[in-house]
Amino acid sequence: MVVRTLALVVVRRVLGLVGLGSAPDAKDIEIAVLRHQLMVLRRQVTRPRYTPQDRLVLAMLARLLPRERWAAFLVTPATLLRWHRELVARRWTYPATGTGGNCLDPETVELVVRMARENPRWGYIRIVGECHKLGIRVSATSVRRILRRHRLGPAPRRSGPSWTAFLRGQAADMLACDFLTVETVGLTRLYVLFVVELDRRRVHLAGATAHPTGEWVVQAARNLLMDLDEQAHRLRF
């Protein structure tokens, strides 16, 4: 690399002197100097330390520099992505509220487990409602955690056909949907709505927004049904 850079500068200098091309200007020489100093730094420093400001500058420059020229960075693309993941994790970290199933009174936990075992068709919401009738405040999330900890199946049914058997019988008539999140460079969280045809395992991207609302989801579903056109008539759920 050193010989090639030096040879390129010399050749361009010679061609410029004989009038067969432009001689390297100060900017070209400066770039050659910076490249060589970068090579020297890489030989001497195995793990350079970067401040948060350094990481921000490198991340923004990475968006402007073509991928084929990323060899100029001292860090790898994987390192840039790891920095972004760490920043996102710090951005969306919330303090613990202390309302999980582990913080509930043991008598409440025992009552929830007994209700689930004695009433196998009761779901999380039904158990929450029955607890409220007794003056016990517990959330559906806490009930779900309690049942999972005691190895009780998911609500609303803990008996009967398995989920696999149910899918075999209903997959052709059913669409499943959910959200995933994508974090942008500016730490804006985008919510992506996707829909899966269960029988074909085909995924449809219904839309993405930073502020999902009920009206937005309804319109996205309508747009998807229009895109499916003749296939939509076979869907029931």
Residue 198, in any domain of the structure: yes
Q: pLDDT at position 171, please?
A: 82
66 and 23 belong to one structural domain: yes
Domain that holds residue 118: 101-149
pLDDT digits (tens, 9 = 90+) for 163-172: 677 777 888 8
Average pLDDT score over the chain: 78
227 has a pLDDT exceeding 90? no
CA triple 154-132-145, angle to 5 deg: 30
Residues 49, 105, single domain; the answer is: no
Q: Is residue 157 part of a domain?
A: no
Residue 94 forms part of a structural domain = no
- Is residue 2 predicted with pLDDT exceeding 50? no
Q: Does residue 173 lie within any of the structural domains?
A: yes
- Is residue 17 located within the same domain as residue 49? yes
Residue with tokens 């049942």: 147
3-state secondary structure of 177: strand
Q: Are residues 116 and 170 in the same domain?
A: no
Q: What are the pLDDT digits (tens) for 65-89?
A: 787 777 777 777 888 888 878 877 8
> 66: cis peptide before it, omega within 30°?
no
85, part of any domain: no
Is 26 domain-assigned? yes
Q: Are residues 6 and 70 both part of a single domain? A: yes
pLDDT(131) > 70 = yes
> Does residue 140 or residue 186 have the better pLDDT?
140
> How many structural domains compose the chain?
3
Q: Give 176's contacts (C-beta < 8 A, 6+ positions apart).
A: 195, 196, 198
Under 8 Å between Cβ of 203 and 227: no
Residue 89 domain flag? no
Could you tell me the sign of the dihedral formed by the alpha carbons of 220, 224, 227, 232, in that order? negative
User: Where does the pLDDT of residue 100 fall: very low under 50, low under 70, confident under 90, or very high at 90 and above?
Assistant: very low
Answer yes or no: pTM beyond 0.85.
no
Residue 114: CATH number of its domain = 1.10.10
